[in-house]
Amino acid sequence: MKRLKKNQLGPWCSFCPPKTTRAVFVQHGWHGKFCCGQHKKELIDCEKDNYKLTEADYQTWFNL
């Protein structure tokens, strides 16, 4: 999970009712869900369920 920068206008929170709160955090990776400060725990749980390794991760960490 990464925090959006101050000058970045985040999209809407994925866990709030449609278009009510701007996102502050983004899921780790190229795309994913966004969340506001209140739904940080839900995003962490979602990341744990959807954790995927890339080919670069396999080649780097599993060949040691």
pLDDT one-digit tens code per residue, 15-57: 998 888 888 888 876 567 889 999 989 888 887 766 667 778 7
Query: Is there a domain that residue 38 lies in?
Result: yes
Query: Is there a domain that residue 13 lies in?
Result: yes
Question: What is the full DSSP assignment across 34-60?
Answer: EE-GGGHHHHHHHHHHT----HHHHHH
Q: What is the value of pTM for the model shown?
A: 0.64
- Report d(CA 60, CA 46) in Å as an integer: 25
Query: Is there a domain that residue 30 lies in?
Result: yes
Residue with more model confidence, 48 or 4: 4
61 three-class SS: helix
In this prediction, residue 38 carries a pLDDT of 92
Query: Is there a domain that residue 63 lies in?
Result: no
Number of domains, the chain: 1
What's phi and psi for 35, nearest 5 deg?
A: -145, 160
Q: How confident is the model at residue 63 (pLDDT cuts 50, 70, 90)?
A: low
Query: Is there a domain that residue 61 lies in?
Result: no
Query: Is there a domain that residue 20 lies in?
Result: yes
- Report d(CA 25, CA 10) in Å as an integer: 8
The pair of three-digit structure tokens given for residue 41, joined into one six-digit string: 């725990």
**Beta bridge partner(s), residue 34:** 26
Residue 22's domain spans which residues?
A: 2-51
Query: Is there a domain that residue 34 lies in?
Result: yes
